[in-house]
Structure 1
Amino acid sequence: MAFTGEQQANEEDKLILSLPIEKGWRTPDLYLFQEFWYSSRILQGVINSQKYFQAKDGDVVVASFPKSGTTWLKALTFAIVNRQHFSSHKNHPLLTSNPHELVPFVEVGFLGDIHDRISNMAEPRLYATHVTFPSLPKSIQESNCKVIYICRNPFDTFISCWYFFNKIKPESLPELTMEEGFERYCKGLIETGPWWNHILCYWKESIDRPNKVLFLKYEDLKDDISFHVKRVAEFLGCPFTQDEEISGLIESVINLSSFEKMKDLEVNKSGTTVMNVEKKYFFRKAEVGDWVNYFSLPMRETLSKFIEEKFSGSGLSFKTCS
């Protein structure tokens, strides 16, 4: 199936040019599509995936707002689902491949020629997305595939985004100051933002359809990873057996997928992965509460008030310090 015909390209160009536009963080511009902001390239992938991606009932989708624990959850999910295929960790794919290669982004997969590989992956197929739930392909929304969403407190998310996007931006773009980044962040002007609507969309789905969407908090995983690994396995229909627990398989999965383990692997120290981003930039600190080292008192008060306003009545709250 060809996605790159001249007529389609012209139609996409016309659509993009008709959309509201703002300055980007790692790209010159962001475009507002279906109430969320995307770079022009990612937007093309979003549109193509909406048109052509066909989810299967056995698929698993790891969803997140950028810099919310995506890499960690990808590794954990891959290790949980494939634990019977790679009983020996000596030859485990997580030791030789970056998690973003093992669990590819749906929207990135529909940017070019790799869409066939994306669609024809071995089952159970594991995918990821930064796209908000209402903008996912209808087949993901309407099939029996499972969605696991990870949410991180907005303070740490901002710091992680600010660092990350400054690292991966092209040299032609000026470095984004923290003050400018914070102003845009509070306006929702960030890729796949507004971040509060992104979180709330998945939160609502997890309440309305608990068998479809599992909502996780990054800070909860840090507090009790064993409990949540078992929770993910149960949600996916592959709970750990008593024998697996006794044998220490849960601890093995946790250790294999840990930030410290992944950061120390040679495969994650050099080279590039998704969107030609250097692998080492996906591993910074992974700490809860690191934001206190950067936020001024006015910034703290502004974001605290903002969170209170946006999430009031939702039942969702955030742990901001360890």
Structure 2
Amino acid sequence: MAPTKFAKIHTINGEASNEEQDNLSQDMKDLIFSLPREKGWRTPYLYLFQGFWCQPAEIQAISTFQNHFQAKDSDVFVATVPKSGTTWLKALTFATVNRQHHFISSKNHPLLSFNPHDLVPFIEYTVYGNHENLPNFSNFHEPRLFGTHVPFDSLSNSIKDSSNCKIVYICRNPFDTFISSWVFCNKIKQDSLPTLGLDEAFEMFCNGKIGYGPFWNHMLGYWKESQERPKRVLFLKYEDLKDDVNFELKKLAKFLNCPFTLEEESEGVIENIIKLCSFEKMKEFEINKIGKFGRNFENKYLFRKGEIGDWTNYLSPSMVENLSKVIEEKLSECGLKFKAKN
């Protein structure tokens, strides 16, 4: 799919404004009215839908996606817990899969002019963001690349059961995920909402009440699937990518059936992709300084620090103890562990 086509797709951007709620179908309004709700992070409320928390416009988009999307064997899905390296993984995936069409050293490479979320569009925000019209996939170049925060169990059946498409999943140490989410949501929250305090946000996070949460269910869904079907789901950790991006990128390329050749390795293709997609490089691109994702989402908010262990600057000892207990209780049995600091 040509990058210029991505930029024109309507997005809902996850915002549940009054205007967008007015645009929901009556059936969807009735459904949402029946769901449990809690205070939201950047919108007034989150609703419990299919076992995870999300916003009204997201629910409608996800429902349409579940009912209509037909996966192809060549499709690639970048699935993530929010604020866990989504932008970085999308950039690496796009550059790797399309390296024969868009040479990494080219001055016209799409990543220089388009944010990774334009090139690997979100299913629930971009592709199915306009509830009045189903998306037209005729302009999508294969392999089609999509992004999603939707938990595994709520993906369309065609992805889970009737195709051989690939899913690349990344998650992050929950301590850093929390801080990144808290800072990010306060930057992009609705203007009418007060700033969400650290203590209140932390309690909500530990109780699983965050967009697409609980985070432990999100991680476990993809983790279990990666164990059962490793050729279909690749499970990555942000910390591993930071530690050895060269190794992880080669693993990604092999998983996506486009491994790097010895010639490419000797010519520095891997290093060039890593450099092009690095946090420092992408942060300096003009599109990521002044561009927007959707109507009111500024790309610059996607690039904060990209560090491991920044949570130590925010969390008290009691907070660390509480979240550690949650992680131990929810994730220890499956063997998921995370690097805490650099």
- The one-letter amino acid of 2:322's match is T
- The one-letter amino acid of 2:149's match is H
Tell me what 1:191 maps to: 211
Tell me what 2:83 maps to: 67
Tell me what 1:13 maps to: 29
How far the C-alpha of 1:158 sits from its partner, in A, is 0.2
How far the C-alpha of 1:312 sits from its partner, in A, is 2.2
Tell me what 2:232 maps to: 212
Tell me what 1:35 maps to: 51
How far the C-alpha of 1:275 sits from its partner, in A, is 6.2
How far the C-alpha of 1:277 sits from its partner, in A, is 1.0
Q: Do 1:48 and 1:111's aligned partners in 2 also have CA atoms closer than 8 Å? A: no
How far apart, in 2, do the equivalents of 1:117 and 1:266 lie?
A: 29
Tell me what 1:126 maps to: 145
In the TM superposition, 1:111-190 aligns within 5 A as 111-112=129-130, 115-117=134-136, 120-142=139-161, 143-190=163-210
Tell me what 1:48 maps to: 64
1:264 equivalenced with 2:280 (yes/no): no
Tell me what 1:99 maps to: 116
Q: Do 1:100 and 1:274's aligned partners in 2 also have CA atoms closer than 8 Å? A: no
How far the C-alpha of 1:176 sits from its partner, in A, is 0.2
String of CA shifts for 1:157-209, please: whole Å, max 9, x gaps.
00000000000001101110000000000011111000110011110010011
1:89 equivalenced with 2:106 (yes/no): yes
How far apart, in 2, do the equivalents of 1:184 and 1:118 lie?
A: 38
String of CA shifts for 1:6-51, please: whole Å, max 9, x gaps.
9x91111111111111111011111111100011111111111001
In the superposition, relative to structure 1, how do residues 196 and 274 fare at CA in structure 2: closer, same or farther (>3 Å)?
farther
String of CA shifts for 1:37-91, please: whole Å, max 9, x gaps.
0111111111110011111110000000100000000000000000001124211
How far the C-alpha of 1:276 sits from its partner, in A, is 3.1
Segments of structure 1 that go 5 or more residues without pairing to the other structure are 1-5
String of CA shifts for 1:258-307, please: whole Å, max 9, x gaps.
00000011110013114631100000000001110111010011111111
Q: Secondary structure at the match of 2:202?
A: helix
How far apart, in 2, do the equivalents of 1:208 and 1:270 lie?
A: 43
Q: Do 1:104 and 1:118's aligned partners in 2 also have CA atoms closer than 8 Å? A: no
Tell me what 2:329 maps to: 309
1:281 equivalenced with 2:301 (yes/no): yes
1:238 to 254, 258, 278: 258
How far apart, in 2, do the equivalents of 1:241 and 1:31 lie?
A: 47
Q: Secondary structure at the match of 2:135?
A: helix
How far apart, in 2, do the equivalents of 1:71 and 1:267 lie?
A: 13
Q: Do 1:273 and 1:279's aligned partners in 2 also have CA atoms closer than 8 Å? A: yes
Tell me what 1:319 maps to: 339
How far apart, in 2, do the equivalents of 1:238 and 1:34 lie?
A: 35
Tell me what 2:128 maps to: 110
- The one-letter amino acid of 2:146's match is Y
How far apart, in 2, do the equivalents of 1:138 and 1:261 lie?
A: 38
Q: Secondary structure at the match of 1:150?
A: strand
- The one-letter amino acid of 2:50's match is Q
Segments of structure 2 that go 5 or more residues without pairing to the other structure are 1-21
Computed over aligned residues only, the root mean square deviation of the Cα atoms, in angstroms, reads: 1.4
Task: Name the % identity.
Answer: 60
Q: Bigger CA drift: 165-174 or 116-125?
A: 116-125
Q: TM-score, normalised by structure 2?
A: 0.90
In the superposition, relative to structure 1, how do residues 252 and 121 fare at CA in structure 2: closer, same or farther (>3 Å)?
same
How far apart, in 2, do the equivalents of 1:120 and 1:55 lie?
A: 15
In the superposition, relative to structure 1, how do residues 275 and 147 fare at CA in structure 2: closer, same or farther (>3 Å)?
farther
Q: TM-score, normalised by structure 1?
A: 0.95
1:200 equivalenced with 2:220 (yes/no): yes
How far apart, in 1, do the equivalents of 2:227 and 2:138 lie?
A: 29
How far apart, in 2, do the equivalents of 1:160 and 1:33 lie?
A: 24
